[in-house]
Structure 1
Amino acid sequence: MIHINARILGAVALALVVVAPSAVLAQNDIKIRDLTAQEGAMPVRLVGYGLAVGLDGTGDRAIGGQTAGPTVQGVINTLRRFNIEVPADLIRMRNVAAVLVTAEVSPFLRAGGRFEIHVSSMGDARSLRGGVLYMTPLVADANGPALASAQGALLVSDGGAVQRYTPTHETTARIPSGGVLEADLPRPAIAAVSRLLLREPDLGMATKIAAAINGSMGEKTALVEDEGAVIITLADSGSKPLAMAKIRELAIAPESRPRLVIDGRDGTVVAGGDMVVGSATVSHGAITLAIGKVADNDTAAIPGSVRLPAGIPVQRVATALHAVQTPVNEIAAIFAALREVGAITAEVIVR
């Protein structure tokens, strides 16, 4: 009995070894909905002007009088809606800030749907932390009707506050689910012939998408128009929305692109794949990065000098630069220089 169980366990283990690689590959596939957008389904951008209240003395340095600024005038207009009249020359405040409110909404969102909004200071406020956005109408055009409204407690990101060489930005904030759509937006109709627009135009990816659609929906359903679009021809019978939903759920194997993404605020470096750095020397500001063969008897310890062997991973280079407290802007400039001289073949993106 023990020998039989051992054989069964061995067979199960072998099956897991055989199945595991294909399961991993399936998990890495990307659905077409994450790679494309339907033609005409462009997001609607909303904007509004409002007031952030409840600040702890970090708001705009607003003083009333003949030279009253937009913050004071905004408070006066708000109070007038409640039949409260306050002379402008009597207003002194530091707990209010004039802010610009922006948002991006899907055209398929219905009235009553919620979405995230972003708030940015327009005056000389030092911080929006702890503030609350007063109800603000949002419009798509400057002179258009209000399509949504926004309000709620402001959330300020800590950013790179834990790193002493990185400044903290507290004049921008966000409110998750702080916006409410008050009117339905014009929605694109699904025609018999439509297009899927690639979020990142690429001929190889467009070809893969068309092949996956034709393999599932039938030949000549999809045709590559160019690097940025795939034409979809749907049959007259059946439900077109269901057909598009099935197409968007199809999965394809992604194409690996060597990319190096650097966060412009806290210096975070994200490298895709096994990316290494070749021989190069970069001198930027007070930092000198030398990548190449290091002599065995080289014990020089020059302040601001970073010496690393060739073929080192990108993340180790980033770790070495962080260890000597290299400013974020210099880290981005150093990696961009390595890209220009050919030491890095990946695309460098600074955000």
Structure 2
Amino acid sequence: MMNIFKVLLCCVGFFTSFSVQASPIRIKDLVEFDGVRSNDLVGYGLVVGLNGTGDGLRNSPFTEEILSNILERLGVNVTGEQFRPKNVAAVLVTASLPPFARAGSPLDVTVSAIGDAKSLLGGTLIMTPLNAADGDIYAVAQGTIIAGGASATGDGASVVQGVPTAGAIPSGATIEREVAFDFAGMTTLRLALRTPDFTTAGRIELAINSDFGRGVAIMLDAGTVELDIDAARMTSPAHVLGRIENIMVEPERRARVVVDQRSGTIVMGDDVRISRVAVSQGNLTLRIQEAPLVSQPNPFSPGETVVVPRTNAEIIDEPGIGLAEVDEGTSLSEVVAGLNALGVAPRDMIDILKSIKASGALHAEFIVR
């Protein structure tokens, strides 16, 4: 039988499979700590200094409005004035406020045009307040934009590479306000599993209690393990998390088969099993070809040129596999060997796996992307 490496070399698509023994993972890589999360920020601002690639103010009146407001705040009276600069653009500024961020710390921000600006390359973001979901200002952004693309326009053609209407400002915002969160006063703390599983949650509970030598953790459900901070007998919740986050736990994984129909990729987990089943597969190809004929009258004779449609259509029944038996697989290597024995391309293998799953012989979660 062909092994999986031979299939990777000879198939047009990709049939990917791996079998690795589960290894212990740090708890910090398996869970999220309750309350320890980032907060999204957003602001509306103005980019100036563009080389004629800004918003057309006739199509983006909000750009003229914010420009007027900024100039008036700076003491410039533009009431009733008609100005049409081409070097400004209205943008939305977004950032993520990390947990435990302190006032004065820098933040990376992303700037995206919302008008008809062609490029933000070389522009400078004017001081923009960033608000959270509660409406309060938590940071202020300003700086030179690093655009993510380039564009060039000539008299008869233009070329665009990447996305020049979006860019970033590394460390472009400064935190002005901290998120109120009394982490040090917490008496209990929950660990939320990124992939809920009763077995994994039980192992996390057992590992933590074994490390402390007493009942510090208790499993509440498949996705939650609760810590008793007082029972840990440590100085603060931060000391408790610092101790448990590096404890090693062997996670339990579900049996999964993931397929990508666009690329023909198939990925199988180590716990995939298959029952004994018989498979038959064949292909039908429909081919249609247009070959119109032109009927033209003789020179100087009355008549019209007529196009006569002609279509050739045929169905080709390509030879496939006959009724083939796939033996029961008790390990991933046996499952792979049994499927590879069918000798079909990866895209056909996806259809076969769907049918095997529908028949109840594939004992795994089947995910199609």
Match of 1:180 in 2: 174
Indicate whether 1:72 and 2:64 are aligned: yes
Give the secondary-structure state (helix, strand or coil) at the position aligned to 2:227. Answer: strand
Match of 1:62 in 2: 57
CA contact (8 A) 1:48 1:137 kept: yes
CA contact (8 A) 1:72 1:88 kept: no
Indicate whether 1:246 and 2:243 are aligned: yes
Shift in alpha-carbon separation, 1:340–1:232, aligned structure 2, 3 A: same
Indicate whether 1:198 and 2:189 are aligned: no
Shift in alpha-carbon separation, 1:32–1:86, aligned structure 2, 3 A: same
* Structure 1, unpaired ranges of 5+: 1-23, 160-165, 284-291, 296-309, 319-333
Shift in alpha-carbon separation, 1:311–1:52, aligned structure 2, 3 A: farther
Give the secondary-structure state (helix, strand or coil) at the position aligned to 1:189. Answer: coil
Shift in alpha-carbon separation, 1:282–1:156, aligned structure 2, 3 A: farther
Q: 1:102 & 1:150 partners in 2: Cα distance?
A: 9
CA contact (8 A) 1:222 1:231 kept: yes
Could you state the TM-score of these two structures normalised by the residue count of structure 2? 0.59
Indicate whether 1:189 and 2:202 are aligned: no
Where in structure 2 are the equivalents of 1:321-340 lying within 5 Å? none
Name which of 88, 93, 99 aligns with 2:85.
Answer: 93
Deviation at 1:220?
2.3
The structure number with the bigger radius of gyration is: 2
Instruction: Choose 245-254 or 166-175, whichever is displaced more.
Output: 166-175
CA contact (8 A) 1:282 1:338 kept: no
- Higher fraction of strand: 2
Q: 1:230 & 1:193 partners in 2: Cα distance?
A: 10
CA contact (8 A) 1:107 1:186 kept: no
Q: 1:90 & 1:282 partners in 2: Cα distance?
A: 67
Indicate whether 1:170 and 2:140 are aligned: no
Indicate whether 1:210 and 2:205 are aligned: yes
Where in structure 2 are the equivalents of 1:12-51 lying within 5 Å? 29-51=24-46
Indicate whether 1:154 and 2:150 are aligned: no
Q: 2:90 & 2:258 partners in 1: Cα distance?
A: 37
What amino acid does structure 2 have at the position aligned with 1:151? Q
CA contact (8 A) 1:68 1:88 kept: no
Shift in alpha-carbon separation, 1:216–1:148, aligned structure 2, 3 A: same
Shift in alpha-carbon separation, 1:177–1:34, aligned structure 2, 3 A: farther
Deviation at 1:272?
8.0
Shift in alpha-carbon separation, 1:340–1:57, aligned structure 2, 3 A: farther
Q: 1:335 & 1:157 partners in 2: Cα distance?
A: 39
Shift in alpha-carbon separation, 1:96–1:187, aligned structure 2, 3 A: same
CA contact (8 A) 1:127 1:170 kept: yes
Match of 1:162 in 2: none
Deviation at 1:236?
6.3
Higher relative contact order (CA 8 A, sep 6+): 2
Residues 164-199 of structure 1: per-residue CA shift (max 9 Å, x gap) = xx9843333332322211122112424232211123
Match of 2:233 in 1: 237
Aligned residue pairs, count: 273
* Structure 2, unpaired ranges of 5+: 1-19, 151-159, 273-278, 286-318, 323-338, 358-363
CA contact (8 A) 2:127 2:142 kept: yes
Q: 1:338 & 1:173 partners in 2: Cα distance?
A: 45
Could you state the TM-score of these two structures normalised by the residue count of structure 1? 0.62
Deviation at 1:68?
7.2
- Higher fraction of helix: 1
Match of 1:324 in 2: none
Shift in alpha-carbon separation, 1:95–1:189, aligned structure 2, 3 A: same
Match of 1:130 in 2: 122
Give the secondary-structure state (helix, strand or coil) at the position aligned to 2:66. Answer: helix
CA contact (8 A) 1:339 1:347 kept: no
Give the secondary-structure state (helix, strand or coil) at the position aligned to 2:202. Answer: helix
Shift in alpha-carbon separation, 1:223–1:128, aligned structure 2, 3 A: same
Q: 2:146 & 2:137 partners in 1: Cα distance?
A: 24
